[in-house]
Amino acid sequence: MENQDIRKAGLKVTLPRVKILEILESSDARHMTAEDVYKELLDRGEEIGLATVYRVLTQFVNAGLAEKHHFEGGQAVFELDRGHHHDHIVCQQCGKVAEFYDETIESCQRAIAAKHGFEITDHSLIIYGRCVRQNCPNKS
Amino acid sequence: MENQDIRKAGLKVTLPRVKILEILESSDARHMTAEDVYKELLDRGEEIGLATVYRVLTQFVNAGLAEKHHFEGGQAVFELDRGHHHDHIVCQQCGKVAEFYDETIESCQRAIAAKHGFEITDHSLIIYGRCVRQNCPNKS
DNA sequence: ATGTATGCAAAACATTTGCACCTGG
DNA sequence: CCAGGTGCAAATGTTTTGCATACAT
C-alpha cells in the first residue's frame, strides 16, 4: 500500500499525490518529465494542474520517494526511488534510458573525492550515446 | 595568439568575441556562467549585451573552443577547452570546482556502453559534495 | 474546524530570437 | 561594400509562486 509512503513523508494523502505516484509506478519509461506526468493525468481524465504536478514531484523528491535528474534537453526527469542507486545511459536519438550500476566506478569516485578533500553528498553520471539496437529509430 | 582560434573557427574576430575569450582565459574560477562573463565584461567597462555573450559562448562550444556543463542550480557553466578531457567535483557550499580524470572510470564507461549496445557520444560525471579544506566557508 | 493542498494565473528565470543598425575583412 | 555580428527588446520554455478556494484529518 504505497499511500502509506505518502503519509510517512508527512504529506496528506490527496488525490493528486496518489494519482501521480500511480503514474510513476506504472510508467514503462520510468523516467518522466513533469509535462509527461501531466499529460498522462489528462489522458486518464484527471483534472490536476501542472503546478501541482511540479509541487508534488518536488515533495516526493524531498521525501526520498523519487529522484530528479537533469538529462540534456531542458526538462528535468523524475523517477521513483526504488532503493537501488544507479546511473544512466541515454540514447540521444530515441530517448531510451538504460540504468546501470558499477561498483568500480562508485569506488573510484569515493577515492577521487577523498583525494581532493571532498565529502560526497551526491553524484550524477550520465552517458550519452546512440543505441545500436533493433528498436532504435536511428533517424540519420 | 588566440585570435587565430576565433578565425580558425570560421568566426570574425570581433571585439565581443576577443573580450569573452580573454575573460575565459584569465578567469580563476575557469567555470563561468554566461551571467558571470557578462558581469565581468561590465566590470571591465565593455558594452556587450547578454544576448551576445550567450551567442558567442554557444559559438565557442560549437567550434570546440569551449565546453558547456550543467551543474545543479539552473545556470549552465562554460569553460575553455584546454584539450584535456576531465570530469568535475563541485563543492555545494563554496561553489569550488575541482577537475579530475580517471582512466578506470573512463574505461568502465566504455565497457558499460558496449554491454548495453550503445555507442558513446558524450558523458557527464559530476560529483557533488563538501570540500573539507581550510578555505571552504563551511556555512553550516 | 483548521491547517494543508490545489488550481489558476501571473511571475520568475535562463536562454533564444527578430530586427534594425553596425563593423570587420 | 556587404555578409556577418551586435544590441535591444520581445519571445520562449520551464519551473515557481501568490492567493482564494477546496479538502483531508
Contact yes or no for A128 and B105 at CB 8 A? no
Note the pLDDT of residue A114.
96
Distance CA A33, CA A53 (A): 10
Taking 60 as the threshold, does the pLDDT of residue A12 lie above it?
yes
CB A92 within 8 A of CB B98: no
B50 touches strand C (CB under 7 A): yes
- Stated as kind and residue range, the H or E segment containing B32 is strand B32-33
Round the average pLDDT of chain A to a whole number and report it.
93
pTM of the model: 0.91
**For A38-86, how does the pLDDT look when each residue is reduced to its tens digit (9 = 90+)?**
999 999 999 999 999 999 999 999 999 999 999 998 899 999 999 999 9
Confidence of residue B1 (pLDDT cuts 50, 70, 90): low
Q: How far is CA A130 from CA A90, B24, B79, in A?
A: 8, 32, 26
Mind telling me how many Å the CA of B43 is from chain A's nearest CA?
Answer: 30
Q: Which residue of B has its CA nearest to A118?
A: B131
Q: In chain B, pLDDT over 90 holds for what percent of residues? A: 83
Q: What is the pLDDT of residues A102-133, one digit of tens each?
A: 999 999 999 999 999 999 999 999 999 999 87
Contacts of A30 (CB under 8 A, 6+ apart): A79, A80, A97
Residue A90 contacts by C-beta under 8 Å, 6 or more apart in sequence?
A71, A72, A96, A97, A98, A126, A127, A128, A129
Strands A66-69 and A77-80 come out as antiparallel
Find chain A residues with C-beta within 8 A of B127's C-beta: 109, 112-113, 118, 120, 122-123
Amino acid at A61: V
Name every chain B residue with its beta carbon within 8 A of the beta carbon of A97: none
Would you state the pLDDT for residue B138? 58
Q: Can you tell me the distance from the alpha carbon of A127 to that of B112, in angstroms, rounded to the nearest whole number? A: 9
Kindly tell me if the per-residue pLDDT of B17 is higher than 70: yes
Q: What is the pLDDT confidence band of residue A134, given thresholds at 50, 70 and 90?
A: low
Contact B108 A104 (CB under 8 A): yes
A19-52 as b/e, with b when 16 or more CB fall inside 10 Å?
bbbebbeebeeebbbbebbbebbeeeeeebeeeb
B62 touches chain A (CB under 8 A): no
Interface contact A89-B112, CB threshold 8 A: yes
